[in-house]
Amino acid sequence: MVDVPDDGSRVLIEVESHNGSTKIEGFVIPAAAAGHITIKLVNGYNASYAIDSITSLEIVENTIEKASTEQSPATKFNESLPTVRILHTGGTIASKVDYKTGAVVARFEPEELISSIPELTDIANVEAVKLGNMFSDDMRPQHWNKIIDASKQAFEDGVDGIVVTHGTDTMHYTAAALSFSWAGSGGKSPRPIAIVGSQRSSDRGSSDAAENLIAAVHWAANAPSPIGGSGDSVVVVMHTSSNDGECSVHPGIGVRKMHSTRRDAFRGINTQPLATISANNGKPSIQLSETYSAELELPITREVTTTPDKYETEIRIPQFIAGPWLVSEHIDAIMNIGCQAIVIHGTGLGHLPIDDPEGDAPENTLVWRSLTRAINREVPVVIVNQCISGPIDMNVYSKGRKQMQMGILGHGIIAPPETVVAKLHWALSKGEEISSIIAADLCGEGRATLME
């Protein structure tokens, strides 16, 4: 039996398998099981073998010591290129493998980014600021405010565009929040802001990290000056399909993560992409959509926002799902705890279980009463779309018209649920009148021309 070297060692092993003798080279990482050795191969995938099956093992080099002393080359400023500042918040987009532990850690320094993705030096002068390193599901409004402050500072420093590296799970929440911050009050961001992530970590052969980041930096450096009312102040840049070669530029107020693992997980909701970015072998190019191109030809009516809006961190917006399990006790409990608004994901066109036509579902009548009490206490109740795509239309059926008579808001909404909740939080933070704000199209989230 061979002795297994320390994690991080690069080894060449010979293994006796069912198909005969095989030679494998890679890095030793923590074993997947007792009595095994796990090797990270050069293609990014892992392979595990029983130690008893190894006939020879040669240590090629110890990468741990080498990594601790190796310095990245300094970046050089190119006056002919625009400047893009990357704001790193976490996620796999800016990551590398620590072969000693097998964990993925942040890569956020400009020198490290450029050394790993040299194509960036042909696109822009890249700066980088680390705001944090967290899973995106841990993001809260205080983290939005941190990004808002950092993006404001970046524009004051004169950058030509901003890229926010972000975990994908709540990237669409942050995109919507930043959109209303910069453009909700009638203005627009000074220059493009692109939020980008990756579905596959950079240590995997199928990683989308490099291509997504190249596309996002290219957009931040070369995109048209934002209109503000087209959902273009803040965009999400991610793979168009599972294949390499093209990324889509989605309006930040009309996109949602629709798959847990696919590289093309992000899809427009009642919207089309503003543009696509082709890879072109490391020399990306932008193809604007016909609709967006036409809008860019119109006179600019919005002023540049110099002080973006911030979010109150103490606002509470509980969410419920309409269906057989929505009961009045839950609504009453939330009202007793205290909240600033209630959001319900309605069925179909935006309906709730509030009627008892057969006389055998008193729970529905109790839900109606609880919601009526909440509205009478001036707590806004907003319906969003459980179907995700399509509008909220409470005019079609008598059920919907009854809901509007109760004072339930949301008729006409076409934005994704997360965008509506971010908009509601933004409006509550500013002390706006909710009924008029929810119905208004502030920065592209209510544009029927984008309906599929």
* Cα–Cα distance list, 221 to 83, 184, 195 (Å): 7, 23, 13
257 is catalytic: yes
Q: What is residue 446's DSSP assignment?
A: T
168, 170, 174, 271: which one is catalytic?
A: 168
List 100, 152, 257, 423, catalytic entry? 257
How far is residue 405 from each of residues 18, 37, 46, measured CA to CA in Å?
72, 67, 60
Please pick, among 169, 332, 355, 393, the residue that the annotation labels catalytic: 169
Active-site pick, 92, 174, 240, 271:
92
83 tagged catalytic: no
By C-alpha distance, which of 107, 98, 81 is closest to 161? 81
Note the helical H segments in 252-313. Answer: 290-296
Residues 6 or more apart whose CB falls under 8 angstroms from that of 26 comprise 10, 11, 39, 40, 41, 42, 47
Active site residue 165: no
> Quick count: other Cβ atoms within 10 Å of Cβ 323?
12
Cα 117 from chain centre? 21
Distances, alpha carbon 262 to alpha carbons 167, 241, 289, 311, 389, in Å: 14, 9, 24, 32, 19
Q: What is the DSSP letter of 261?
A: S
- For every residue of 384-407, DSSP letters joined together read EETTSSS---TTSSHHHHHHHHHT
Q: Give Cα separations from 268 to 58, 200, 209 (angstroms).
A: 51, 20, 20
Q: Is 419 a catalytic residue?
A: no
Q: How far apart, in whole angstroms, are the C-alpha atoms of residue 55 and residue 391?
A: 64
Residues noted as catalytic: 92, 168-169, 257
